[in-house]
Structure 1
Amino acid sequence: MRILIACETSGIARRAFMARGHNVWSCDLEPAEDGSNRHMICDVRDGILQDGWDLLCVMHPPCTRLCRSGRRWMSGPGKWTKPKLLPRGRTLADMRTEFELGVSVFTACWQAPIDRVAIENPEMNDLARDRMPADLPAPHMVQPFWFGEPAYKNTGWYLRGLPPLQETDRLTEPERDSAEWKRWNYVHRLPPGPERARLRSRSFPGMMAAVAKQWGEHAMRQVRAA
């Protein structure tokens, strides 16, 4: 299968598909952390979506201004009214530029001429939903601990031509407010700093193993039946 992993530098998803024998490439504006020669440094919108892929997985597209938690920086009451606050050192024009980038990348990937598409993104705010394609479904939500990863991070997948991801190794949740529970919440407890966004968006190997197996096999069955 020819598979494109977009918007990821860690190589975690790419390696999960490669371990199952697929012809897989990743792309991002930044180099791959693992130095792989199967990583393209480019904007996913610059033509590669038309290169005959069987499956597209978009891991970490720009979502800060699309997600529900980011709405307060975009608008006050109603829609596109002046927000009460802005992030320190940022302007409303900055917010709109980042919002438009998120919309552009998401819609380009969703509408790509590829039969099977999975885009990882949080639940969107109303401003973003207003700009999305009419056929966009609600996100399929999963947690890392459903796949053997001791962590909490509600993860949304917008799916076209692919089935919902099934849990593979669900862990027993720790008692709330216990030391273990706090460790499971490490993604949400990361301190501010230049690496916070990259670490928060990092893929979970257990979830990616399930993605590669379930969606890779689904795509293979469809291609063989065609």
Structure 2
Amino acid sequence: MRVLVACETSGIARRAFAALGHDVWSCDLEPAEDGSNRHIICDVRDGILCDGWDLLACMHPPCTRLCRSGRRWMSGPGKWTAPKSLPRGRTLGDLRDEFETGVEVFTACWTAPIDRVAIENPEMNDLARDRMPADLPSPQIVQPFWFGEPAYKATGWYLRGLPPLTETQRLPEPERGSDEWKRWNRVHRMPPGPERTRLRSRSYPGMMRAAATQWTTAAITRARA
């Protein structure tokens, strides 16, 4: 299968699909962290989506202004009223531009001429949902510890032409408040800093191995039927 892993620099998802023998490329505005020659530096909206892919996995499209936690910066009560406050050093114009970029990237991926699409994104706020395609379903929410990764991070998958993920190695959860529980919450406990967004958005290898196996197997089985 020809697979495009969009909006990823870590190579985690690309390597998971490649390990199964598929023709896989990743793309992002930034270079690949692993220096792979199967990574294209580009804006996913600039035509690459029309290059004959069998499956698109869009990993980390801009979601800060689309998710529920980001709504308070976009609007006060109701819709598109003045927010009560803004992040330090940011203007409302900046945030609106980021919101529009998030909407455009997500929509471009969801409506791409590709039969199988998976977009990783948190549950959206009402402002973002109002701008989404009418056929967008609710996301499947999964956790890394369902796939052998000792971590909490509710991960949303918006799926078209692909089955929901099935857990592969659910770990027993630690006691709430314990040191281990705190380690499982390390994504949420990261201090502010220039690397915080990148580190918080990284994929989990166990989850991506499951996704690559389950989604490509389903696609191949359906094609042979």
Determine if the TM-score, normalized by the shorter chain, exceeds 0.5: yes
Question: 2:103 aligns to what?
Answer: 103
Give, in angstroms, the shift of residue 117 of structure 1: 0.2
Cα distance in 2 for residues equivalent to 1:144 and 1:55: 22
Q: Distance in 2 between matches of 1:107 and 1:75?
A: 22
Aligned equivalent of 2:132: 132
After superposition, the CA RMSD in angstroms is 0.5
The SS at the match of 1:62 is coil
Aligned residue in 2 for 1:38: 38
2:198, 2:13 → 1: CA distance? Answer: 15
Alpha-carbon offset, residue 34 of structure 1: 0.4
How many Å apart are 1:38 and its aligned residue?
A: 0.3
Correspondences of 1:1-226 after superposition (within 5 Å):
1-225=1-225
Gapped runs of 5+ residues in structure 1?
A: none
Q: Give the whole-Å Cα distance in 2 for the aligned partners of 1:165 and 1:97.
A: 33
1:50-97 CA distance string (max 9 Å, x none): 011000000000000000000000000000000001000000001100
Task: Report the Cα distance in structure 2 between the residues aligned to 1:112 and 1:223, rounded to whole angstroms.
Answer: 20
* Cα distance in structure 2, aligned partners of 1:41 and 1:156: 25
Q: Which runs of 4+ in 1 moved over 4 A?
A: none
Counterpart Cα distance in 2 of 1:31 and 1:77: 40
Unaligned stretches of 5+ residues in structure 2: none
Please report the TM-score for the alignment, with normalisation by the length of structure 1. 0.99
Q: CA deviation at 1:175?
A: 0.3
Amino acid at match of 1:49: L
The 2-side partners of 1:223 and 1:189 are apart by 44
Per-residue deviation, 1:221:
1.6
Deviation at 1:216, TM superposition (A): 1.1
Q: For residues 47 and 140 of structure 1, what CA distance do their matches in structure 2 show? A: 28
State the SS of the aligned residue for 2:183. helix
Shift of 1:220: 1.3
Specify the SS of the correspondent of 1:69: helix
SS at match of 1:167: coil
TM-score normalized by structure 2?
A: 0.99
Amino acid at match of 2:24: V
3-state DSSP of counterpart to 2:190: coil
Listed one character per residue, the Cα deviations across residues 108-131 of structure 1 (whole Å, up to 9, x for unaligned) are: 000000000000000000000000
Report the AA paired with residue 207 of structure 1.
M
Instruction: Report the AA paired with residue 220 of structure 1.
Output: I
What is the Cα deviation at residue 36 of structure 1?
Answer: 0.3
Name the % identity: 82
